[in-house]
């Protein structure tokens, strides 16, 4: 069987990798759209402390976090070690002891069916700061050893290279769908017309546009996220934990003193993929209150990407109702680095006619069709 995957963010790259690994013929196409979410994202994988109550979302996010170590091992077998993934642990901050108490209880409760959370430890402000020295001194925290960070760009590239090693072909091009009546039969790139048994569309924030020629209107929206990278010269930051402050912000460390702080939630900007003065102001205004020690760090770079959303902030995946030969997965929103690799594996299983771990009815594509 032959398959085409349109869109090689983390979701499409993972789908292509898992399909290729199973021996299928796979073509992956991506037009390298500026503002691709995956390229801009870095990267907390720590869904368990979230206060979001949606069970379907949590099941998906939990599965995503659990799957990472297995995926990293598979990629290693394919010779890919540069993924930016590291289980460095995570600290969730608060100044209020009651809130920390509740957070700790939530962590223990969630560990009952998610042992991958690892060790849960309540830390004093001094202990918290010892783990992430730039932090302000008033924050206590709950530390979970299973929290991880990942570099979106690095894991995406590792997945694409590993897919190619398993026989997949990757084209850098815009793609559109080719259809006959109510059946999608392939995709057209700038240079080629490709036929396939099935086409899988994992096109993120731009997913809706591919279906317009089919007369389908998809409810996919997007939100710009800006994020900044700074460096603390001469500091070994490689083992510093991910930091989750009480605000919807975060910071995390990579090797060589690199600290990533983000991200903004910019609505109503369309596909304007600029990094703005206001965006950076907001990021640093919030970040320096939490971690004043970053004031003297070196500014390295800033990025912007579009979080793709489907209705209810719940991802969808599966066949497009009323059509043959075409599947969609989309709506990874703010947690797509966590969810993407796992959902790609699930999507590959679905395409290959194997049983999925998740119930696809919970993530029904018709929810995203207007």
Interaction residues for ligand FAD, span 46-105 (CB under 6 A): none
Radius of gyration for the chain, computed over Cα atoms and rounded to the nearest angstrom: 20
What secondary structure does DSSP assign to 64-105, as a single string?
Answer: HHHHHHHHHHHHHHTT------B---EEEEES-HHHHHHHHH
CA distances from 198 to 21, 28, 65, 80, 320 (A): 17, 12, 28, 28, 11
Q: How far apart are CA 325 and CA 244, in angstroms?
A: 42
Q: Between residues 33 and 80, which has the closer beta carbon with respect to ligand FAD?
A: 33
Interface with ligand FAD includes 159 (CB under 6 A)? Answer: no
Question: Which member of 152, 208, 241, 341 binds ligand FAD (CB under 6 A)?
Answer: 152
For ligand FAD, the closer of residues 125 and 269 by Cβ is: 269
Q: Site for ligand FAD (CB under 6 A): which residue of 3, 4, 5, 7? A: 7
Cα–Cα dist 310/178, whole Å: 24
Residue 175 CB-half CA count within 13 A: 29
Interface positions, 298-327, toward ligand FAD (CB under 6 A): 305, 307-308
Compute the distance between CA of residue 116 and CA of residue 89 in angstroms, rounded to an integer. 11
Distance of closest approach, residue 261 Cβ to ligand FAD, in angstroms: 10
Binding mask 27-56 for ligand FAD (x = CB under 6 A): --xxxxx--xxx-xx-xx------------
93, 333, 348, 365: residue in contact with ligand FAD (rule CB under 6 A): 333
CB of 100 to ligand FAD, least distance (A): 22
Reference 84, options 154, 182, 135, 177; nearest CA is 154
Contact status: 157 vs ligand FAD (CB under 6 A):
no
Piece of 94-102, 192-200, 205-213, 320-328 that binds ligand FAD (CB under 6 A): 205-213
Give the range of 85-93, 133-141, 336-344, 362-370 binding ligand FAD by CB under 6 A: 336-344
163 contributes a contact to ligand FAD by CB under 6 A: no
**228 sits near ligand FAD (criterion: CB under 6 A):** no
The answer for residues whose C-beta is within 8 angstroms of residue 293's C-beta and 6 or more apart is: 133, 134, 135
Other Cβ atoms closer than 10 A to 158? 25
CB of 205 vs ligand FAD, minimal distance in Å: 6
Of 139, 338, 348, 368, the one binding ligand FAD by CB under 6 A: 338
Three-state secondary structure readout of 188-257:
ECCCCEEECCEEEECCHHHHHHHHHHHCCCECCEEEEEEEEEEECCCCCCCCCCEEECCCCCEEEECCCC
Among 15, 128, 166, 202, binds ligand FAD (CB under 6 A): 202
Give the nearer residue to ligand FAD in terms of CB position, either 2 or 127: 2
Beta carbon of residue 38, minimum distance to ligand FAD (angstroms, whole number): 3
Residues in contact with ligand FAD, total (CB under 6 A)?
Answer: 43
Q: Which residues face 294 on adjacent strands?
A: none
Angle, nearest 10°, between helix axes 152-165 and 55-77? 60
Closest CB to ligand FAD among 10 and 316?
A: 10
Among 89, 186, 257, 262, binds ligand FAD (CB under 6 A): 262
Residue 242: which of 68, 85, 20 has the closest Cα? Answer: 85
Closest separation between CB of residue 137 and ligand FAD, Å? 25
Q: Out of 185, 337, 348, 368, point to the residue binding ligand FAD (CB under 6 A).
A: 337
Return the residue of 3, 12, 142, 286 that touches ligand FAD, per CB under 6 A.
Answer: 12
Query: Which residues on adjacent β-strands are paired with residue 194?
Result: 187
Segments in 291-352 forming alpha helices (H)? 336-351
Q: Is 168 in the site for ligand FAD (CB under 6 A)?
A: no
Q: Which stretch binds ligand FAD (CB under 6 A): 15-23, 103-111, 199-207, 284-292?
A: 199-207
Please choose, from the candidates 228, 252, 249, 224, the residue with its C-alpha nearest in 3D space to the C-alpha of residue 239.
252
Give me the least distance between CB of 331 and ligand FAD, in Å please. 8
């Amino acid at each position: 069987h032959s398959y085409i995957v349109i869109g090689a963010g983390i979701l499409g790259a993972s789908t292509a990798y898992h399909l290729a690994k199973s021996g299928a013929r796979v073509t992956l196409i991506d037009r390298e759209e500026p503002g691709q979410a995956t390229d801009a994202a870095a990267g907390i994988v720590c869904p368990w402390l979230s206060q979001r109550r949606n069970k379907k979302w949590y099941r998906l996010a939990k599965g995503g976090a659990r799957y990472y170590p297995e995926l990293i091992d598979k990629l290693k077998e394919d010779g890919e070690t540069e993924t930016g993934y590291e289980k460095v642990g995570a600290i969730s901050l608060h100044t209020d002891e009651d809130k920390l108490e509740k957070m700790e209880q939530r962590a223990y409760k969630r560990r009952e069916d998610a042992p991958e959370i690892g060790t849960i430890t309540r830390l004093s402000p001094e202990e918290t700061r010892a783990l992430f020295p730039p932090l302000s001194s008033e924050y206590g925290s709950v530390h979970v050893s299973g929290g991880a960070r990942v570099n979106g760009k690095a894991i995406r590239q590792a997945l694409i290279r590993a897919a190619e090693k398993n026989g997949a072909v990757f084209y850098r091009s815009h793609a559109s769908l080719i259809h006959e009546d109510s059946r999608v039969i392939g995709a057209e790139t700038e240079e080629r017309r490709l036929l396939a048994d099935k086409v899988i569309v994992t096109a993120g924030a731009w997913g809706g546009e591919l279906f317009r020629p089919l007369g389908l209107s998809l409810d996919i929206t997007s939100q710009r996220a800006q994020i900044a990278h700074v460096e603390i010269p001469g500091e070994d930051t490689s083992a510093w934990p991910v930091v989750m402050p009480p605000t919807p912000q975060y910071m995390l460390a990579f090797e060589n003193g690199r600290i990533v702080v983000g991200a903004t939630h910019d609505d109503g900007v369309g596909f304007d993929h600029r990094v703005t003065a206001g965006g950076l102001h907001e990021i640093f205004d919030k970040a320096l209150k939490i971690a004043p020690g970053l004031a003297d760090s070196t500014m390295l770079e800033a990025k912007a990407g579009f979080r793709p959303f489907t209705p209810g902030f719940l991802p969808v995946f599966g066949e497009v109702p009323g059509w043959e030969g075409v599947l969609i997965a989309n709506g990874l929103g703010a947690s797509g680095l966590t969810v993407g690799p796992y959902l790609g594996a699930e999507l590959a299983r679905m395409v290959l006619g194997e049983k999925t771990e998740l119930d696809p009815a919970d993530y029904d594509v018709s929810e995203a069709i207007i």
